[in-house]
Amino acid sequence: MSNQTFLIGTGVESIYTCTLTSNGQLQLLNETKCGKGSSWLLPRNDILYVVNEHIDKIETFTIDDHTKGKLTLKNTISSIGNTPCSLDIDSTGKWLAVANYGHQGTSNFILFPLNKSNLPEEKGAQINTIDGHGPNPDRQDHSYCHQVLFHQGYLYVVDLGTDTLSIYGFNDENGEVNLIGNRIKTEAGAGPRHMIFHPNKSLAFLCNELNSTANVYRVNASCEQLECLQTIKTRRQEDENG
């Protein structure tokens, strides 16, 4: 197995480039200074998009050396919200979606246009919010958008605060979205956090933070509907009791 190079975001002001060697050793190759709270990194070809969770910014770096992970800062913009925590790019490469968790302020999700240099711009950004709350007054007093995810031309939004998954139709010409059907509800108080799609089956998997469960969904042929097939606990019974 050849050495593998990867990037690590942190809660401080650094992004680390490391390599995992063929004998299982982790080696630091490079450290790049960044805004505080680089908790979500999104590499696309020679570009790296980074949230600054603690200062409400989005940074864009060029990846100048994929082997050594050398990064150069090219752009910093406001996340137009509070506590950005997730990023994704649509299949056309024209739009960057950002989820703002809203830990101490407004929760929303934003669509930023990307210019010819693949840098996001605040001008022309589309701002979207979700109304509602969940039963947990400490964690669900309002919407908390936790993830944005493009899949098959749709935008999926995971909201911990309202216990919902939302599927939006997406217009890649102007960045506007429209809700498809009703929002998909999880168990009350589940607190959905992160979702992934199976690489070659019509399945999606959702991690629920607040009640320590995971849901398995069947995705219909048009990717406009999800059917919950299974919910499992992610903690042992003895851990819950202790």
Residues 25 and 47 in one domain: yes
- Which H helix or E strand runs over 238? helix 237-241
Over 80: is that where the pLDDT of 68 sits?
Answer: yes
Cα distance between residue 22 and residue 75, in whole Å: 35
* Domain match, 106 and 208 both: yes
203: exposed, middle or buried (Cβ count in 10 Å: 0-12, 13-18, 19+) = middle
Q: Are residues 73 and 114 in the same domain?
A: no
Q: Torsions phi, psi of 239, nearest 5? A: -70, -40
Provide the number of structural domains found in the chain.
2
Here the tokens at position 116 are 């010819």
pLDDT per residue as tens digits for the range 78-89: 999 999 999 999
CATH number at residue 205: 2.130.10.10
Q: Are residues 38 and 108 in the same domain?
A: no
Residues constituting the chain: 242
Q: For residues 160 and 112, state if they share a domain.
A: yes
Which domain range does residue 65 map to?
Answer: 1-78
- Domain co-membership, 108 together with 20: no
pLDDT-derived band of residue 1, with 50, 70 and 90 as boundaries? Answer: low
pLDDT digits (tens, 9 = 90+) for 128-187: 999 999 999 999 999 999 999 999 999 999 999 999 999 999 999 999 999 999 999 999
